[in-house]
Amino acid sequence: MNLTFIVGSGRCGSTMLSRALQAHPDVLSMNEFFTSLACRGHLAFEGGVVDGRDFWSLLSGPARPLDAIAASGHPMPELLYPYADGRFRPETGVPAISHMALPALSATPDALHDDLAATIPGWPARPTAVHYRALFAELSRRLGGSVVVERSGASLAFLPALCAMFPEARFVHLSRSGPACALSMSRHIGFRTLLLRTRAMGLLGLTSPFQIGPEHAASLPEHLAHLAGDVDCELVMRSPIPLAAFGTFWSGLITHGVEEFIRLPADRRMALTYEDILDEPEHHLARLATFAEAEPDPAWLRDAAASVVRTARPPVTDPDTLAACAPGELALHRQNRLLRATTRV
């Protein structure tokens, strides 16, 4: 199985790439798969041995942060489940893989969920990473696609775990101008929630924002205590978060992610930028397909390139935000200089 991960900071054009890849006849596009599971907690990236029943529990248990956003009425375009007429309700818990991953694969995500529910619990005990590969193979068998591409927002944070679990995989780092990412994050309910949870994580001395649970509520200041339970999305959207805070958040993801990315062997890494895709969509989509070992089919390239739309947005000129993004921009410059010297793709 050919396995490629598209990693990035989030709000960098990766959703656009997922949509393009979903239309490729040879690609099984796993949209926001690991972001969904990260919302279930740290178990998503542990390498222990579990049986099929426990693995299915990881996939199908509720992702409470996503449930809270889906129930809040605040739009988050990545959430694709048919909440109005699907079987599951965010108030009682939607399976983690049903919020974003399964609806991107099937027009009937509940039926696909049921098919997997009838199969996966019977799988033998084995490492979690082996279960993930078996899941991708099972979905490829059912839906087609000889090449698997997983893409999750803010997945640079997962890069060390993904490299450890999938040492054979290829990785594409998709980046975008830091100030533009910061501005987009500041308007996005998911990233506003993630930034506040990251702040709470730091206060609690935890290593993941998704480790926060009800037992931590009393240890958090009043404006963050709701993050220990069902997130108050109205409060998240009203919270006065300066734009520069998102620049700092972006820089942290980029600087740590780049350090891990450049350690990969040259033949297992590729860099793309959102701006380059906008300027030459067919060329860079062909590069991506070739790197993932999918045929750059001319009809697919034509249609995928036509779906790439440039959206006009005002430039960010706030000096505090530009300064906050500077470390991340410097890390990207270092990465791209190194890749130009070592990569021919």
Residue % of the chain over a pLDDT of 90 = 85
CB atoms near residue 302 (< 10 Å): 12
Q: Give tens-digit pLDDT for 69-84.
A: 999 988 899 999 999 9
The rounded distance, in Å, linking the Cα atoms of 156 and 159 is 5
For the residues 14-27, what does the mean pLDDT come to? Answer: 91
> What structural domains does the chain harbor?
2-342 (3.40.50)
Q: Give tens-digit pLDDT for 21-73.
A: 999 999 999 999 999 999 887 678 987 899 999 999 999 999 988 999 999 98
Tokens standing for 195? 């930034």
All residues at 6 or more sequence positions from 142 whose CB lies less than 8 Å from its CB, including other chains: 112, 115
Long-range contacts (CB closer than 8 Å, 24 or more residues apart) made by 293-301: 293/2, 293/147, 294/2, 294/24, 294/26, 294/27, 294/146, 294/147, 295/26, 297/24, 297/25, 297/26, 300/23, 300/24, 300/25
The rounded distance, in Å, linking the Cα atoms of 314 and 294 is 36
Query: Where residue 195 falls among pLDDT bands split at 50, 70, 90?
Result: very high
**What local confidence, expressed as pLDDT, does residue 344 receive?**
52
Model pTM?
0.94
